Structure formats: C-alpha cells, structure tokens
Amino acid sequence: MEAGKGRPRIIVGVDGSGASVQALRTAHALAGPLDAAVEAWACWDVPAGFGLYLAVGIDGFEFAAKQALQQALTDAFGTAVPSEIRGRLLRGSAAHLLIDGSREAALLVVGRHGHAGFVPGSVSSACVSHAHCPVLVVPARVEAADGGR
C-alpha cells in the first residue's frame, strides 16, 4: 500500500474453517496497533463441472459463502463484531481474488488450511507465493486438554 493513501487495510480470507476464524481474530488483534481496517473476504464460485446448475441458478453457492462469512464472524467475535471489521462477498477464485486484493493491502491474513486437511491449503500456499504484500498464515487454534494453560 502506498504511503498517503489513507488508513491501512488488512484483508482476511474467510471460508468458515477454524483456521479462518482464528485468522479473523488475529487480524483484529493487529488492527489496533496498525490503525488498520479489516476486510473479511469470503470468495465463492461455481465449481467446474456444474454447468447444469448455471441453468437453474447460482444462488446456492453465493448463499453458502454468505452463511460461511456470517458464521465465521459470529464464531470469532460473538454477536458484537468490531466496527473496524467489514465483510465482503466476492465471486471468483479465492486465491486469485486475495492475491489481486493484496495489491492494495498492508497485510493479507489467511488460515493455514481450510476444510481440506492437515497440509497447507492451496489458497494459503498461492497467497504466500504470489501476494503483493506481507502474508500471515494462521493455524487453527488447538484447545489443550488442560483448557489451554
């Protein structure tokens, strides 16, 4: 982000996974010291091979992404979402949209992996490799048996 263009912006990729909820919390914790606004981006698209659904409509895919965004915000902050956090719903490939958005961001925050498994996800890997700003990759919070102590 160029100097003098206003308040810094932190973009957070949100897919509803535990790692993306923790990424939201982390971005919020950094927003104050950086005097930054936080944008939670939920990206959706029609998966390849779903051409028949295009004839019927794409509302289901968009609705699912909107629900994931709202649930992630609720899981991260409860009913009082901080005022500096704004949700955005975007259509397209998450990796491509986040990388493009990173051109105007001070920081990009993503979860280590989404719902897929134990290895770094394709979105976080693509962002680390191609983003135009620093990228923070956040793991899902693991609750210890002793309550995290």
131 residue type, one letter: A
For the cut 90, the answer to whether the pLDDT of residue 98 exceeds it is yes
| 143: number of Cβ within 10 Å | 8
Helix (H, G, I), strand (E, B) or coil at 14: coil
State the pLDDT confidence band at 52, using cuts at 50, 70 and 90. Answer: low
State the pLDDT confidence band at 5, using cuts at 50, 70 and 90. Answer: low
For the cut 60, the answer to whether the pLDDT of residue 3 exceeds it is no
Residues 6+ apart with CB under 8 A from 16: 42, 67, 68, 69, 71, 72, 115
Mean pLDDT in residue range 65-82: 94
Helix (H, G, I), strand (E, B) or coil at 76: helix
Q: Give the integer Cα–Cα distance in Å for 45 and 33.
A: 34
Residues 6+ apart with CB under 8 A from 136: 23, 26, 30, 107, 108, 109, 110
Find the distance separating the first CA and the last CA of the chain, reported in whole Å: 38
For the cut 90, the answer to whether the pLDDT of residue 38 exceeds it is yes
Q: Give the integer Cα–Cα distance in Å for 126 and 108.
A: 12
Q: Give the integer Cα–Cα distance in Å for 108 and 129.
A: 12
Q: Give the integer Cα–Cα distance in Å for 142 and 140.
A: 6
Q: What is the pLDDT of residue 4?
A: 44
For the cut 80, the answer to whether the pLDDT of residue 63 exceeds it is yes
Q: What is the pLDDT of residue 144?
A: 40
Q: What is the pLDDT of residue 146?
A: 44
Are 18 and 143 within 8 A, CB to CB?
no
